């Protein structure tokens, strides 16, 4: 029974975290890109609402009556404004559009981890937690030789990282071997 109560407390803490102002602020600044999955709702217009759509490799989506819409590099709020503007007048008098991010694009981890590959990004994810998702470090891994390539970096230049580095969607992490 005691473990069950601890579990409920943990769930309550997680829901508080996801509704915290810091979480909301990070989500408001999040820039959409290829691989993100979103929901578009138009109040009172079920035929214009999309429960789940993954952005294309170009960061676009196909929307009824409008066609292809570029979401890449925009926040959910900016996409709401674009859709509202395009729907207003020709289709609806006063459209109320909301865009919600359902799934963030993956980050990738390779090198000296037990299960390298792509994993779903979660807001607030640190490299330490990413390593745990990848099954932990191998016995040859170096905690001092970690590099990260940010998806948003047009030069794709590796940066030095630590286990406390906060990750972003699309990041590519490489953990090198240590020399003994």
Element (H, E) at 61: strand 60-63
Structural domains for the chain? 29-103 (3.30.1950.10), 106-177 (3.10.560.10)
Closest by CA position to 180, among listed 110, 132, 108, 112? 112
pLDDT in tens, 119-142: 999 889 999 999 999 999 999 999
Q: Residue 91, Cα to own-chain centre: how many angstroms?
A: 31
- Ramachandran angles phi, psi of 25, nearest 5°: -65, -45
Cβ neighbors of 94 (< 8 A, separation 6 or more) are 88
Q: Which of 67-76, 86-95, 106-115 has the lowest mean pLDDT?
A: 86-95
- Specify the pLDDT at position 27: 63
pLDDT in tens, 38-68: 999 999 999 999 999 999 999 999 999 899 9
| DSSP conformational letter for 72 | T
- Specify the pLDDT at position 91: 74
């Amino acid at each position: 029974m005691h473990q069950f109560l601890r579990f409920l407390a943990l769930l309550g803490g997680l829901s508080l975290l996801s509704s915290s102002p810091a979480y909301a602020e990070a989500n408001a600044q999040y820039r959409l890109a290829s691989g993100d999955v979103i929901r578009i709702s138009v109040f009172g217009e079920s035929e214009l609402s999309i429960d789940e759509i993954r952005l294309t490799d170009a960061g676009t989506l196909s929307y009824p009556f409008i066609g292809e819409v570029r979401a890449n590099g925009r926040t959910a709020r900016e996409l709401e404004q674009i859709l509202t503007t395009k729907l207003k007048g020709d289709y609806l008098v006063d459209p109320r559009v909301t865009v919600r991010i359902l799934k963030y694009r993956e980050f990738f981890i390779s090198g000296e981890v037990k299960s390298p590959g792509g994993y779903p990004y979660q807001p607030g994810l640190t490299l330490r937690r990413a390593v745990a998702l990848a099954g932990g470090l191998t016995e040859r891994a170096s905690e001092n030789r970690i590099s990260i390539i940010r998806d948003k970096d047009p030069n794709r230049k590796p940066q030095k990282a630590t286990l406390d580095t906060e990750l972003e969607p699309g990041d590519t992490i490489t953990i090198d071997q240590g020399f003994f």
